[in-house]
A and B are shown apart, each in its own frame.
Chain A
Amino acid sequence: MARVMTQSLLPRQRAALNAETLLIGLAVLGLIAAPLYFYPVFLMKVLCFALFACAFNLLLGYTGILSFGHAAFFGGAAYFTAHAVKEWGLSPELGILVGVAGAAALGLVIGFLAIRRTGIYSTMITLALAQMFFFFCLQAPFTHGEDGIQGVPRGHLFGLIDLSEPLNMYFFVLAVFLLGLFAIWRIINSPFGMILKSIRENESRAISLGYTVSRYKLAAFVMSAALAGLAGGLKALVFQFATLTDVSWQMSGEVVLMTLLGGIGTLVGPVVGAALVTTLGNYFATSQIPVTLITGGIFMLCVLVFRRGIIGELYASRLGKWLSGERRS
Chain B
Amino acid sequence: MTDPTPLLRVRELNAWYGEGHALHGIDLDVHEGETVTLLGRNGVGKTTTLRAIMGIIRKRTGSVSFAGRNMMQVPLHRTAHAGMGFVPEERGIFASLSVDENLHLPPVVAKGGMSVKEIYRLFPNLEERRHSPGTKLSGGEQQMLAIARILRTGARLLLLDEPTEGLAPVIVQRIGEVLVTLKKRGMTILLVEQNFRFASKVADRFYVIDHGRVIDDFDAGQLPDRMGRLHEALGV
Judged by CB atoms under 8 Å, the answer to whether A and B touch is no
Chain A interface residues toward B at CB < 8 A: none
Chain B interface residues toward A at CB < 8 A: none
